[in-house]
Amino acid sequence: MKLALTIAGSDSGGGAGIQADLKTFSAHGIYGMSVITSITAQNTMGVLGIEDISPDMVYLQMKAIFEDLYPDAVKIGMVSNEDIIKMIAKGLKDYNVKNVVLDPVMISKSGSYLLKPQAVEALKKELIPLSLVVTPNLMEAGELIGKEVKSVSDMKEAAKKILDFGAKTVVVKGGHLTGDALDVFYDGKEFYEITSERIDTKNTHGTGCTFSSAIAANIALGHDLVESIKRAKAYITGAIKHSLAIGHGVGPTNHFWNIEIRKV
């Protein structure tokens, strides 16, 4: 059995964060574990409140996992504040963690800050250098490099700059562009454009969480990075295609679409 860990925030509505990550791990046949950084009261319409977990408790969760159930890959999502970021970086170093997928979550689709704006520098300094792959969307890439990212050539320029912060590789996600859903992967040598059809739906809550945890799941399964990203892209495209029109706002991605039972 392969093991994967998500270090992220809880989404009570089940569409993003820890809940999306664990569903993604399960759908890949992987045993999922979690380190919760923050609890959000959230649904498809928005975030009602956020309560961060203490940095010591974040570290203790990491200790509990790394000293007993060492994961094959780790995904990091919402990290909320500078003290939590520093504690996660300490844990990753103390336990010599290598296969880290960092989704630099900053603002929810509904507009709430999931990372304090003043903590962006800590994220850059402490967590990016410990990551195998960083997966910013257009806005996050822009915040990281201090310049708007609006086109495929901007995405390539951003990927290069993010590599300079110490990431080993980067995927800049183009989910918020128009046209095909095009992401750019850069490994320091080659650029890859990863493209799928754009699905016409408003129900995209949790797409970034699902994509990054699918990359981690495929790494845990033993695939190389390019293959893991390709498989994760196929997975997120299916999860958006079958997304759920539930709740009154932006519905979530769906993880269990391939088994259908129909009375005939």
Ligand X SMILES: Nc1ncnc2c1ncn2[C@@H]1O[C@H](COP(=O)(O)OP(=O)(O)OP(=O)(O)O)[C@@H](O)[C@H]1O
Ligand Y SMILES: Cc1ncc(COP(=O)(O)O)c(N)n1
Binds ligand X (CB under 6 A): choice among 175, 244, 246, 247: 175
Sites for ligand Y among residues 203-242 (CB under 6 A):
205-209
Binds ligand X (CB under 6 A): choice among 163, 199, 226, 244: 199
Binds ligand X (CB under 6 A): choice among 33, 181, 215, 220: 181
171-183 CB burial, b ≥16 within 10 A, e <16: bbbbbebeeebbb
Q: Which of 37, 44, 169, 204 is labelled catalytic?
A: 204
| Nearest approach, Cβ of residue 209 and ligand Y (Å) | 5
Q: Judged by CB under 6 A, does residue 40 bind ligand Y?
A: yes
Question: What number of chain residues touch ligand Y (CB under 6 A)?
Answer: 18
Q: Judged by CB under 6 A, does residue 78 bind ligand Y?
A: yes
Q: Judged by CB under 6 A, does residue 28 bind ligand X?
A: no
Task: Say whether 209 is catalytic.
Answer: yes
Task: Say whether 206 is catalytic.
Answer: yes
Paired strand residues for 32: 4
Q: Is 151 left (phi over 0), alpha (psi -120 to 50) or beta?
A: beta
Q: Judged by CB under 6 A, does residue 211 bind ligand X?
A: yes
* Strand-by-strand arrangement of the 100-102 sheet: 47-52, 31-42, 3-11, 73-76, 100-102, 133-134, 169-172, 181-186, 191-196
Q: Judged by CB under 6 A, does residue 202 bind ligand X?
A: no
Dihedral pair phi/psi, residue 108, rounded to 5°: -70, 160
Q: Judged by CB under 6 A, does residue 110 bind ligand X?
A: no
Binds ligand Y (CB under 6 A): choice among 35, 114, 162, 229: 114
CA distance 185 to 196: 14
Amino acid at 60: L
Stretch that binds ligand X, among 6-14, 124-132, 208-216, 220-228 (CB under 6 A): 208-216
Sites for ligand Y among residues 91-110 (CB under 6 A):
105, 108-109
Q: Which of 24, 37, 40, 207 is labelled catalytic?
A: 207
Decide if 245 contacts 236 (C-beta within 8 A): no
Q: Which of 8, 15, 9 is nearest to 249 (CA)?
A: 15
Q: Residue 239, CB half-sphere, CA atoms under 13 Å: how many?
A: 31
Binds ligand Y (CB under 6 A): choice among 9, 32, 71, 91: 9
Question: Which of ligand Y, ligand X, none does residue 114 bind (CB under 5 to 8 Å by kind)?
Answer: ligand Y
Instruction: List, by residue number, the catalytic residues.
Output: 173, 204, 206-209
